[in-house]
Amino acid sequence: MAGNSNLHMSKAQKEDEFYTELSMIEKELRFYKQHFENKTVFCNCDDPEWSNFWKYFELKFDELKLKKLISTHFDASESTYKLELFKDTNGDGVINSKDIVKTPLNANGDFRSPECLEILDDCDIVVTNPPFSLFREYITTLVEHNKDFIIIGNLNNITYNEMMPLIKEQKVWAGKNSGHYWFRVPEWYEEKKTDFKIDENGVKWRRMGNICWFTNMDIPEHYEDLTLYATYSPEEYPKCLNIDAIFVRLVDKIPMDYNGLMAVPITILPKLNPKQFELVGFDKELTENHGRVRTLQPNGKEKTEYARLIIRRKP
């Protein structure tokens, strides 16, 4: 994963090194196939020797009618290389792994390096699993360079100050798939007590929750309505203490007959149709003293709830 030498050698940066399963990539990218024709795709946070993102686009190069595929390799301590796939170099009539062109880089392949930013400016679409510890800087870079993208992150990233304005302004939104996923991790990765396994081939895997795709590429599925079936009652939906909104504990409990503000779980984001709901903001933006939503429990005690999005139904 990308990062400068000091960050890369830190524990936090080392634990950015998660490799995405091909099935996870296929499940999401099937919605975007119409966007790739005659486009240059850049995987700028992928080791092309291991990356299933590279594998996906290499195998589907002709099917997607790509113009070019580029991936840059990162190394914390030395200069690296880039791989490109763009034409039938050996004349066998197909574009495949035999046509890959490998070119040295002057630096270490960090996505923030001048030569990687130059490649970024020349590409059309970025598709990758960026380093989680650098997500804020990474997505800011993509937006500043006006790039289309489909990337993996943690749903909790929407609570960052950099993210919520982008989401409210419809410059970034969630992709179609989210949840808990298994990622392959390097051999040196420390075993965890939970959400960790070693398969029959000795490969280490870590399961991560609240994983979400983020994109700025439009697809019809982005406008599918969330089916509502619950009905409002004051007993079922108590008022929040520090904002004029009702508290909705679960996404599937959003009432179909309430038009005011609702404090809902952030897990609604992959299901949030902007034509069905207005995203008013994040609870820490909107509540008094910029705090989390508070509710009154049946025992009479106040409770500070986990991060909430504030939404309202559109007419």
**Residue 9 confidence (pLDDT):** 35
pTM for this model (two decimals): 0.90
Q: Which of 14-28, 51-65, 133-147 has the lowest mean pLDDT?
A: 14-28
Asked whether the predicted pLDDT for residue 149 surpasses 80, the reply is yes
Asked whether the predicted pLDDT for residue 8 surpasses 80, the reply is no
| Per-residue confidence band for 282, with pLDDT thresholds at 50, 70 and 90 | very high
- 191 shares its domain with 263: no
Alpha-carbon distance of 250 to 263, in angstroms, equals 10
Which residue carries 């990758």 as its tokens?
128
SS3 readout for 11-65: HHHHCCCCECCHHHHHHHHHHHHHHCCCCEEEECCCCCCCCHHHHHHHHCHHHHC
CA nearest to 49, candidates 19, 28, 24: 19
Q: Domain residues for 292? A: 224-313
Which of 221, 249, 276 is a domain's end point? Answer: 221
Which of 168, 189, 221 is a domain's end point? Answer: 221
Q: Which of 11-25, 75-89, 173-187, 219-233 has the lowest mean pLDDT?
A: 11-25
- 242 shares its domain with 290: yes
**Residue 194 confidence (pLDDT):** 76
Output the average pLDDT for the chain: 90
Q: Give 73's contacts (C-beta < 8 A, 6+ positions apart).
A: 47, 48, 49, 80, 81, 82, 83, 105, 109
Buried b (16+ CB within 10 A) or exposed e, 173-204: bbbbebeebbbbbeeebeeeeeeeeeeeeeeb
- 156 shares its domain with 270: no
